[in-house]
A and B are shown apart, each in its own frame.
Chain A
C-alpha cells in the first residue's frame, strides 16, 4: 500500500516539477542540515548540562528558555524540508526502514524535549530539587542526547540502504 502511494506521489505534477529541478534536492537538504545544526547543538548543550557537565555560565532553566524557541522553529523547518524531500523522492524515504526508525526517534526526541521543558516551566530548579529528580533529569538528558546523535546518523544512512 505504501508502495502504491509512492507510485502515485512520484507521478504527481508537483513531484515531477521538483524532480526536474536538479538543484532542488541539494538546496532543500542544505536547509535541512542547517536546521539540524541548530537543533543538535542546542539540544546537546542542554543535555550535557542536565548530565552535570559545565556548559557556559547560564543556569539550565535560562538556557532552555532561550534555546527552545530556536529548537521548535528549526524542527518545523526540518519537517517542512523533510516533506519536500519525500515528495520529490517518495520511495527513497517511505520504503526505507532506516527512515522509519529515524521518524520514531524524532518523535521520541520531541517527547524528551517536552519533558525537559515542561519540568522547568514553573520551577527553574525542577531538575535539581532532589536526588531522584536529578537522576530522572540525567536519564532524560542522556536519552535525548543519544536520540539526537542516532537521528543524524540514521539520516545519513537513508542514502545507503
Chain B
C-alpha cells in the first residue's frame, strides 16, 4: 500500500467522511485546533523569549519553564488530536500540499530541537539562574521561536492552497 492509498483509505473511513461532508464539523474541530495551537505557541514562546533573555529576565529559566511547559504539553495533545482529525477528512489533498509538508517538517525539527535542549543544554542551567542564559540555550530558544512562527505561517497557508 502506498502512502496515497493509505491516505485514501483513511479519508474514506466513517468519521473522516462525516467531517468532510458536514457543514459544521470541520470549522468546529478547526476552532479547537486554533485554540489549542495558540496556547502551544504562546506558552512555548514564553520559554523561548526567556532563553533569549528578551522576557521574564527577573525570573529563573526553571521557574518560567515550570509555569509554561504544562500548558505547552496539554495544549499540544489537543492540537495534535484535532489536527489529525482535520487531516483525516482530506488526507490525500493535505499529503500532497506543500505548506502542509513544510509544517510537518518544522514540527519534527522543533521536536528535535526541544529534545536536544532537554537532554544536553538544560542541565547547564541552574535552578535559580538569572539574567542571560548560555549561548547554547539562546540558540535553542531562537530556533524554537523561529520554527513555531513558520509552523503557524505554513498552517495558515494550507488554508489557501487546499
Interface segment, A10-18, A119-127, A151-159? A151-159
B43 near A: Cβ within 8 Å? yes
Q: CB distance B38 to A37 under 8 Å? A: yes
B106 near A: Cβ within 8 Å? no
Given contacts A45-B71, A152-B31, A156-B31, contact A38 B156 (CB under 8 A): no
**A26 vs B41: C-alpha distance when bound (angstroms):** 18
Interface segment, B2-10, B55-63, B130-138? B55-63
Q: CB distance A33 to B42 under 8 Å? A: no
A130 near B: Cβ within 8 Å? no
Q: Residue on A with the closest CB to B23?
A: A160
B160 near A: Cβ within 8 Å? yes
Interface residues in A96-110 (C-beta closer than 8 Å to B): none
User: Which chain B residues border A41 with CB–CB below 8 Å?
Assistant: 38-39, 41-43, 46, 71
Q: CB distance B63 to A33 under 8 Å? A: no
CB distance from A126 to the nearest CB of B (A): 22
**A45 vs B71: C-alpha distance when bound (angstroms):** 9
> DSSP majority for the B interface?
helix
Q: CB distance A57 to B160 under 8 Å? A: no
CB distance from A70 to the nearest CB of B (A): 7
User: Which chain B residues border A152 with CB–CB below 8 Å?
Assistant: 31, 34-35, 38
Encode B22-64 as 1/0 by CB contact (under 8 A) with A. Answer: 0000010011001101111111011000000001100100010
**A152 vs B63: C-alpha distance when bound (angstroms):** 28
CB distance from B28 to the nearest CB of A (A): 9
Q: CB distance A153 to B42 under 8 Å? A: no
Q: Which of B38, B56, B152 has the most CB of A within 10 A?
A: B38
Q: CB distance A57 to B67 under 8 Å? A: yes
A135 near B: Cβ within 8 Å? no
A36 near B: Cβ within 8 Å? yes
Q: CB distance B63 to A57 under 8 Å? A: yes
**A152 vs B114: C-alpha distance when bound (angstroms):** 28
Which B residues have a C-beta under 8 Å from some C-beta of A?
27, 30-31, 34-35, 37-43, 45-46, 55-56, 59, 63, 66-68, 71, 149, 152-153, 156-157, 159-160
